[in-house]
Amino acid sequence: GCSTLTNQGIPAITVGLFTSGGVPCCGQTPVSVHVTMRQGDREVALSGYRDRDSSVDEQGSAMRVTFSGLSPVDPAEAGRLNLTLSAFYEGVSLSVTREIVLLPDGLALMPPWGVWGAPLAVVSDSGPWTVHAPLPPFAAVLTSLDSTQARTRAEDKLEVGVRLFDRSDKDISAASLVGATMQTAVGGVATFSGLSITGVAGGGP
């Protein structure tokens, strides 16, 4: 398997036929290869050429087919997906499946009322807040190509973390930020609630 950012598409993939001993073979016979992508039981639509034929070469040569320029039609697709390449060779059905992790390429803050694309307001009020008291809840959104809200599942295990910095840009999270600082993004959204700040006072980023 491999991972790539959603705005970069799927890396070029080369498939070949091999003997039972792992030796490349079968270049003398034209083979048609088809590629599909699924997330769980759902097929993911792909843009680009999904069917390719191998070139006929001399006896004893290696069969090779390369797919490039593939990407999901929906830019919101993200997370763990399975890419399957399948072919028929002399009446035998062959296939290989590999996992590809499409990582969102951006992160944005969502307004507390949950309307993506609305005027930005990170929390319901701008403070000041009391030390030790819970901060207002807020959410972060994983985004894909063209700032599209990424479609992610809990099983993709894509997590968003929050840290606290003082005005000198020093990370003081470990000493001063209390609560669950890592959240899984489901539906592209990671929600933080119950966080509080301790041991410091004053303004900061």
**pLDDT tens digits for 144-186?**
877 788 989 999 999 999 998 888 888 888 888 899 999 999 9
Q: What's the predicted TM-score (pTM) here? A: 0.75
The reported pLDDT for the residue numbered 185 is: 92
Please give the structure tokens belonging to residue 102. Answer: 């499409």
pLDDT-derived band of residue 120, with 50, 70 and 90 as boundaries? very low
Per-residue pLDDT for 91 more than 90?
Answer: no
Please state, in angstroms and rounded to a whole number, the distance separating the CA atoms of residues 35 and 113. 41
Please state, in angstroms and rounded to a whole number, the distance separating the CA atoms of residues 4 and 68. 14
The reported pLDDT for the residue numbered 42 is: 93
Percent of the chain with pLDDT over 70: 85
The reported pLDDT for the residue numbered 2 is: 85
When the pLDDT of each residue in the chain is averaged and rounded to a whole number, the result is 84
- 112 contacts 124 by C-beta, under 8 angstroms: yes
Percent helix, strand and coil across the chain, each rounded to 5?
Answer: 5, 45, 50
